[in-house]
Amino acid sequence: MKMHCSITGMATLCLAVALLVGCSSSPKVTFYTLNVAATNEAPAPALHSVAIGSITLPDLLDRPQLVVRRSANRVDILESHRWAESLKSEIPRIIAADLSILLKPARVSTYPQNAGLEADYRVLLDIQRFEMTVGEGVSLEALWSVRSSNGGVPKTGRTVVSEPASAVGYDALVAAQSRALAVVSHDLAQALREVTQAAQ
């Protein structure tokens, strides 16, 4: 009887140790954020406020994991490399921060802030492609529109960017994504200046 209990106890102890080892060897999750990459430019004439509306994003990218393209027909969804916040929230915030630099001193906000309803201009953004490719860099394609709060025909455009990664690794790919978004912000800033000048 004692031997049976001893064997049972040893088996239980071994199982507990195995579970602890298994838990401790779980892969560490790394979290990433985009960063502001725009640089100062000339102030926009008579442009006081801009609001960045909700964006649209491909379903493939609307997830917490980083998605990298390996080939024309293969992508990897990286469970241990994740966004610190939803891209649908982070991209408008980064665009707004970029535009705050490019259109200084204009006030730039994102929906659903109250300022969005009172802004001089509203920006809508449709991200159609925003891919990271291992060993290459980032490809971005975005359709956008700028509309005055006074109505009228919106100014629309399309930005296509290929931004190489400056180094190997996912950090470099995320940094390339930030630089690609800065190009979109630059095109939006130019469109906002043109719309503002046309309205004067």
The candidate with the shortest Cα–Cα distance to 49, out of 86, 100, 9, 4, is 100
Q: Is the pLDDT of residue 19 over 50?
A: no
Tell me, yes or no, whether 16 lies in a domain.
no
Tell me, yes or no, whether 147 lies in a domain.
yes
Please state the pTM of the whole predicted model.
Answer: 0.83
Q: What pLDDT, on the 0 to 100 scale, is given for residue 122?
A: 92
β-bridge partners, 143: 126, 158
Q: What pLDDT, on the 0 to 100 scale, is given for residue 61?
A: 95
Mean pLDDT score of the chain: 85
Task: Give the mean model confidence (pLDDT) for residues 173-182.
Answer: 97
Question: Containing domain of residue 77, as a range?
Answer: 29-199
Tell me, yes or no, whether 55 lies in a domain.
yes
Residue of higher predicted confidence among 121 and 5: 121
Confidence of residue 15 (pLDDT cuts 50, 70, 90): very low
Residue of higher predicted confidence among 53 and 64: 64
Tell me, yes or no, whether 12 lies in a domain.
no
Looking at 57-104, which runs of residues are DSSP E strands?
A: 65-71, 74-83
| Cα–Cα dist 104/111, whole Å | 19
Please, which residues have CB within 8 angstroms of residue 159's CB and are 6 or more apart in sequence?
140, 141, 142, 144, 183, 184, 187
Tell me, yes or no, whether 39 lies in a domain.
yes
Confidence of residue 17 (pLDDT cuts 50, 70, 90): very low
Tell me, yes or no, whether 44 lies in a domain.
yes
Tell me, yes or no, whether 108 lies in a domain.
yes
Q: What pLDDT, on the 0 to 100 scale, is given for residue 123?
A: 95
Question: The domain spanning residue 142 has which CATH number?
Answer: 3.40.50.10610
Q: What pLDDT, on the 0 to 100 scale, is given for residue 22?
A: 47
Residue 22, H or E segment:
helix 2-24
Please, which residues have CB within 8 angstroms of residue 47's CB and are 6 or more apart in sequence?
103, 106, 120, 121, 192, 193, 196
Tell me, yes or no, whether 59 lies in a domain.
yes
Question: CB of 110 within 8 A of CB of 88?
Answer: no
Domain count, the chain: 1
CB atoms within 10 A of CB 106: 21
Q: What pLDDT, on the 0 to 100 scale, is given for residue 153?
A: 82
